[in-house]
């Protein structure tokens, strides 16, 4: 009976066995508990203190959201693991067959490289989900403290880290197939990751197309999901990149093909992916899953803004590195883009840092143009931007519904039992499982 | 005739690893590929199996050219010096060969017995000695169901007794209709097991046939010599 499985099930079983034999995976699992623990304990302590623990003022705590205060920091350990630990697991999983010669046997069976990569991807996804278990267990612990849990926003965070893991898996898989040796694959994988960080940095300095491109890097993707925001363009871009990485892995895993043909196929795939990603950048759909609606204007403001049918142009005279520009983007413009489809924002500056433009006339001005009318403001707050838009659109600001405002979920608590769970039970459980597996093997 | 290789060429930069290699394999025979180190034996096997891309040449079955991607139904190649699934136990690897490769489950126990694998079944492949690993690779190859089996250095790492035993096993499987094409650098071993030979040197076929035919070829090229053994023929033709 055991031998009647289909070839794909055999492949998945083999990859699962190889995963269980991989020390790099057990190291990842043992490290995850302490990593999550440090983040969670620190986050709960801070959250508790801001919520009024030990007699501190509870005033600020009223605005506290577990998404920002707890889940963002706690799951950030997954981001760290995805960058520095997960690639080694994937490189072992994908590159191991070439190193030990199994690939030469398996590809003779007639199985396509796509099915080999698919089996490895299924197992890599399982590896990543198991590695995320300590972070997921933090949700139960938080609930046991009496903490508020808003599942849609937690879902967004988890999906973000699953996608980030998917990007790492695809990147490491493609590098493991491209490179002859695992150490080369590891260097290439980390090189690409560092490259995305440089792109973020460059985008922050240069603005323009670089800033736009930086908006699709894994770090930005995770940050948005951690704020409960799911953007269709980012989601589809990430999925395209995952499929690209896995396809390139399959192309380079294929034996008996010339390097020139593989390179041509890879270039074709990259071209197709670039066209798809370019198409994705025009998509405007997004969902704010945060309980606090932190990525959206109030419902009353959104209703009022939707009444504005004419295109709105905003000209911002702030340099890319000016902190006011960042605040303006975060507090108002990112929300505005989600609400108003006919919005164009242009930045004007002579330098990247803006330090020497402060005395120039016009620097710091934000011009709003709609239907031939123009309005200038220097305010970068959400309220100030909305006020300027209502003024240039000649509509009355809506009456705010105070009942609907997010009041926060202050919780003056300490991370009781977290040290035992994350620094003791999780690493011990994984270490024990590794030892049992080794003994049975 | 089971299959025919015609005009196979493979270059690595300036080096011509294979030049216009042509020969044929008969159904049920044990064909030996012999040649000095660096002759291109492994390259030839890899090109035939489609593991390595050939620059030119065709492999024909029944007169029809079979592209590299469609040879899984006709031949299976067992490379030398590989340690597949090194962290897995031998018993599982044999099951995997039968299951994933659609191998011959009816031969599993027979091969375990013939190749003395019983004590190794629970041990990890990566923890085995070179000779033990070679026996596992032979079992994997013999478990597959393709009509032709290409084995690179089937006796590498085996001691004299094991070499004789394995030669007997291979002959017995050939006797039951399996076609074997073996790359062997020990001429004595090749002479003991093979029906016919392909002599390869510097990527070129220097001769093919049984010992008598090769001796005649050697005599024609270098008249007056003594060519009573395969060693003498080999030295004369390569």
B123-171 tens-digit pLDDT: 999 999 999 999 999 999 999 999 999 999 999 999 999 999 999 999 9
| A–B interface: beta-carbon pairs under 8 A | 83
Residues A108, B50: C-beta atoms closer than 8 Å: yes
- Which A residues in the span 15-34 are in contact with B, Cβ-Cβ below 8 Å? 17-18, 21
So what's the pLDDT on residue A56?
64
The predicted pLDDT at position B57 comes to 96
Share the mean pLDDT of chain A.
91
B30 pLDDT above the threshold of 60: yes
> Given this model, what pLDDT does residue A1 score?
45
Chain B neighbors of A106, CB-CB under 8 A: 100
**Mutate which of B8, B53, B148 to disrupt the A interface (most A C-beta within 10 Å)?**
B53
How far away is chain A from the Cα of B34, in angstroms, using its nearest Cα?
Answer: 22
The partner residue sitting opposite B100, judged by closest CB among A11, A97, A257, is A11
* DSSP conformation letters of B19-87: EEEEEEE-TT-EEEEE--TTSSHHHHHHHHHTSS--SEEEEEETTEE--GGG-TTTEEEE-SS--TTTT
Residue A248: its pLDDT value, please? 98
- Domain A299-404 matching CATH 2.102.10.10: the answer reads no
Question: Is a pLDDT exceeding 80 seen at residue A428?
Answer: yes
pLDDT at A355 over 70: no
Summarised one tens digit per residue, pLDDT across range A114-123 is 999 999 999 9
A205 vs A224, higher pLDDT? A224
**Cβ-Cβ contacts under 8 Å, A2 against chain B:** 95, 99
The number of residues in chain A equals 441
> Is the Cα torsion angle B180, B182, B186, B187 positive or negative in sign?
positive
The partner residue sitting opposite A110, judged by closest CB among B51, B72, B77, is B72
Among all residues of chain A, which has the CA nearest to that of B70? A110
Residue of A114, A116, A256 best to disrupt the B interface, most CBs of B under 10 A: A256
CB-CB under 8 Å, A2 with B99: yes
Minimum distance, in Å, between the CA of residue A433 and any CA atom of chain B: 17
Select the residue of A7, A101, A107 nearest B83 (Cβ to Cβ). Answer: A101
Q: How confident is the model at residue B100 (pLDDT cuts 50, 70, 90)?
A: very high
Domain boundaries, chain A: 2-288+409-440, 299-404
Q: Is the pLDDT of residue A404 over 80?
A: no
Summarize the confidence of residues A105-134 as an average pLDDT: 94
Q: Collect all residues of chain B within an 8 Å Cβ-Cβ radius of residue A255.
A: 50-52
B53 vs A contacts (CB less than 8 Å)? 256-258
Tell me the average pLDDT across A222-231.
Answer: 94
Contact A337, A355 (CB under 8 A): no
The minimal CB distance from B100 to the residues A10, A100, A441 is found for A10
- What are the strands, taking DSSP E only, across A183-306? 229-231, 286-288
The domains of chain B, with CATH numbers, are: 1-74+151-238 (3.40.50.300), 80-145 (no CATH)
Interface of B with A in 54-73 (CB under 8 A): 68-69, 71-73
- A105/B49 CB distance under 8 A: no
> Measured between CB atoms, does A110 come within 8 Å of chain B?
yes
**Which residue from A254, A258, A259 is spatially nearest to A111, judged by alpha carbons?**
A254
pLDDT at B88 over 50: yes
CB B77 within 8 A of CB B45: yes
Min Cα distance B141 → chain A (Å) is 9
Instruction: Write the pLDDT tens digit of every residue in B184-237.
Output: 988 988 998 999 999 999 999 999 999 999 999 999 988 888 888 888 998 888
Which CA distances in Å does A246 have to A177, A251, A393, B97, B164? 10, 9, 48, 26, 46
Contact check, Cβ <8 Å, A101/B49? no
Residue A350: per-residue pLDDT: 77
pLDDT digits (tens, 9 = 90+) for A239-262: 999 999 999 999 999 888 889 999
Q: Does A1 touch chain B (CB under 8 A)?
A: no
- When pLDDT is averaged across residues A79-89 and rounded to a whole number, the result is 97
Pick from A3, A17, A101: CB nearest B84: A101
The two counts, helices (H) then strands (E), for chain A are 20, 6
């Amino acid at each position: 009976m055991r031998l009647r499985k289909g070839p794909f099930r055999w492949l998945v079983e083999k990859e699962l066995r190889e995963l269980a034999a991989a020390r790099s995976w057990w190291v990842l699992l043992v490290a995850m508990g302490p990593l999550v623990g440090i983040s969670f304990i620190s986050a709960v302590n801070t959250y508790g203190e801001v919520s009024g623990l030990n007699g501190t003022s509870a005033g600020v705590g009223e605005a506290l959201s577990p998404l920002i205060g707890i889940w963002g920091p706690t799951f950030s350990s997954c981001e760290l693991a995805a960058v520095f630990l997960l690639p080694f697991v994937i490189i072992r999983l994908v590159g191991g067959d070439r190193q030990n010669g199994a690939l030469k046997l398996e590809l003779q069976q007639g199985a396509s490289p796509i099915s080999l990569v698919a089996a490895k991807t299924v197992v890599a996804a399982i590896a990543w989900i198991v590695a995320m278990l300590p972070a997921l267990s933090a949700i139960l612990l938080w609930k046991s403290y009496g903490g508020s849990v808003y599942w849609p926003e937690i879902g967004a965070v988890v999906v973000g880290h699953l996608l980030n893991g998917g990007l790492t898996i695809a990147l490491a898989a493609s590098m493991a197939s491209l490179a002859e040796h695992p150490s080369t694959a590891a260097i290439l994988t980390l090189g690409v990751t560092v490259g995305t960080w440089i792109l973020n940095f460059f985008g922050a300095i240069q603005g323009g197309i670089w800033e736009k491109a930086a908006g699709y890097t894994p770090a930005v993707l995770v940050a948005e999901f951690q704020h409960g925001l799911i953007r269709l363009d980012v989601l589809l871009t990430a999925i395209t990149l995952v499929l690209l990485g896995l396809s390139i892995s399959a192309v380079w895993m294929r034996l008996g093909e010339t390097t020139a043909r593989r390179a041509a196929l890879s270039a074709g795939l990259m071209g197709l992916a670039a066209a798809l990603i370019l198409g994705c950048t025009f998509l405007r759909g997004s969902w704010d899953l945060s309980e606090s609606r932190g990525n959206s204007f109030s419902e009353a403001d959104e209703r009022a803004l939707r009444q504005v049918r004419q295109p709105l142009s905003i000209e911002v005279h702030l340099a890319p590195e000016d902190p006011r520009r960042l605040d303006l983007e975060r507090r108002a413009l990112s929300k505005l883009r989600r609400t108003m489809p006919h919005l164009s924002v242009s930045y004007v500056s002579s330098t990247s840092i803006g330090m020497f433009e402060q005395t120039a006339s016009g620097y710091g001005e934000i011009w709003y143009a709609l239907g031939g009318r123009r309005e200038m403001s220097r305010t970068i707050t959400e309220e100030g931007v909305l006020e300027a838009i209502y003024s240039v659109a000649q509509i009355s600001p809506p009456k705010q519904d105070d009942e609907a405002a997010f009041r926060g979920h202050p919780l003056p608590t300490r991370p009781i039992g977290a040290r035992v769970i994350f620094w003791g039970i999780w690493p011990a459980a994984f270490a024990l499982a590794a030892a049992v597996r080794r003994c049975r093997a | 005739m089971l299959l025919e290789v015609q005009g196979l060429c493979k270059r690595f930069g300036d080096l011509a690893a294979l030049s216009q290699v042509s020969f044929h394999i008969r159904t049920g025979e044990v064909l030996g590929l012999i040649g000095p180190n660096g002759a291109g034996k492994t390259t030839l096997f890899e090109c035939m199996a489609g593991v390595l891309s050939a620059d030119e040449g065709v492999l024909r079955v029944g007169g029809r050219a079979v592209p590299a991607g469609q040879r899984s139904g006709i031949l299976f190649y067992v490379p030398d010096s590989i340690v597949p699934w090194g962290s897995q136990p031998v018993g599982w690897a044999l099951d995997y060969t039968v299951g994933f490769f659609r191998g011959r489950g009816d031969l599993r126990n027979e091969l375990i017995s013939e190749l003395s694998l019983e004590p190794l079944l629970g041990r990890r492949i990566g923890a085995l000695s070179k000779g033990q690993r070679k026996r596992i690779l032979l079992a994997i190859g013999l478990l597959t169901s393709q009509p032709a089996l290409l084995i690179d250095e089937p006796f590498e790492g085996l001691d004299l007794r094991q070499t004789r035993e394995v030669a007997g096993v291979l002959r017995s499987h050939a006797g039951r209709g399996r076609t074997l094409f073996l790359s062997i650098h020990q001429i004595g071993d090749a002479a003991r097991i093979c029906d016919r030979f392909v002599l390869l040197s510097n990527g070129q076929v220097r001769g093919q046939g049984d010992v008598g035919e090769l001796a005649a070829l050697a005599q024609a090229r270098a008249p007056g010599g003594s060519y009573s053994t395969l060693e003498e023929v080999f030295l004369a033709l390569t």
